[in-house]
Amino acid sequence: MSLVLENVVKNFGEVEALRGVSLTLKKGEVVGLLGPNGAGKSTLMKILTGYYKKWEGRAILFDKDLKKELKAIQQKVGYLTENNPLYQEMYVKEYLQYNADLYRLKNPPVETLIRKMGLVGYKHKKIQTLSKGYKQRIGLAAAIIHDPELVILDEPTTGLDPNQLLEIRKLIRALGKDKTVLLSTHVLQEVEALCNRVIIIDKGKIILDKQLESLRKGKKQIIEVSFNFRIEVEAIRRIPYVEKVKNTHDFEYEIYIKGKKDMRPAIFDFAYDNGLKILKLQMKNESLEKIFNGLTS
Ligand code: ADP
Ligand code: MG
């Protein structure tokens, strides 16, 4: 077990930020902590990284008690804070070396990380001159410079443009191959794109903790698609395995599919055959969507 939390409570005066959070993370899991703003995500992460010393409950990381062996635990935990504060005047390579020095690493993998994070052409650039996406790569590299077992990422994709988003997701997925990852987000699609487990937190309490796979199983497959112009619902209905079609907005449709076969390729073919362009196409997860929309509406 990478992490066991028992009944963690954190108050800021009158504000009950965490109201008895219990959870366990297994080694190698990529877990999405999903919740609206103010749910308690950052507070929980700050506790795990030792930023807050005063809180109630128990946290065991790698079989060590967080309240007793913080230093040892911090050697194995990487953390990218919300908004990724960086020293803007530093140069990329210099900044990573600086982080390595903070951990007193003898042979820090600075060059390796520069390569892995796609920063080779940027290593001698000043951080402030780079785009948000590249800054995020630097933040990720710095967070794992000491090769932690558990990586905690607080809203790592918030504020990125669509291209940057895809690149950063790719890097996070790669991280998940040999590390336990706990990332927070207030965007449902983020969890569906990156995680194998979702924990929904609201008002300081966990209200759902499930494998995405088990949420998908037995649930209807829904594909959300927008075309560049309107098409008759009946025409979409004729695609194999389609059970129901809803025209949700002007050119947007929800297509309900029978069975588990991924029907996205069939939708592409349909669009092509009918001279339509696809502007958006994504799988939706009915139950998760319902729960989450209920929270945020
Ligand atoms: P999230 O990251 O899910 O958006 P936070 O963990 O930042 O939520 O905040 C949870 C709650 O605790 C919010 O009501 C927030 O206003 C409050 N809170 C967080 N940090 C502090 C603080 N340092 N002092 C007072 N209240 C805080
Ligand atoms: Mg937050």
Q: Which atom of ligand 1 is nearest to the CA of 155?
A: 2
- Alpha helices, H only, 238-281: 264-273
Q: Does residue 166 have its Cβ closer than 6 Å to ligand 1?
A: no
Q: Which of 96, 72, 215 is nearest to 150 (CA)?
A: 72
Burial class of residue 158 in the structure, from the number of CB atoms within 10 Å of its CB (0-12 exposed, 13-18 middle, 19+ buried)? middle
Cα(290) to ligand 1 centroid in Å equals 25
Residue 293 confidence (pLDDT): 80
pLDDT in tens, 278-296: 999 988 776 777 778 877 7
pLDDT at 217 over 70: no
Q: How confident is the model at residue 83 (pLDDT cuts 50, 70, 90)?
A: confident
Residue 219 confidence (pLDDT): 65
Tell how strand 30-34 and strand 197-202 pair up: parallel
Q: What is the mean pLDDT of the chain?
A: 93
Percent of the chain residues topping a pLDDT of 90: 83
- Reported in sequence order, the residue ranges of the chain that DSSP labels E, i.e. its strands, are 3-12, 15-25, 30-34, 56-61, 64-65, 77-80, 150-154, 180-185, 197-202, 205-211, 221-227, 242-247, 252-257, 278-285
Q: Does residue 41 have its Cβ closer than 6 Å to ligand 1?
A: yes
Q: How confident is the model at residue 297 (pLDDT cuts 50, 70, 90)?
A: low
Mean pLDDT of 228-243: 93
pLDDT at 195 over 90: yes
Q: What gap in Å lies between CA 248 and CA 277, rounded to an integer?
A: 17
What is 23-78 written as a DSSP string? EEE-TT-EEEEE--TTSSHHHHHHHHTTS----EEEEEETTEETTT-HHHHHTTEE
Mean pLDDT of 201-220: 84
pLDDT at 37 over 70: yes
Backbone angles phi, psi at 231, to 5 degrees: -135, 150
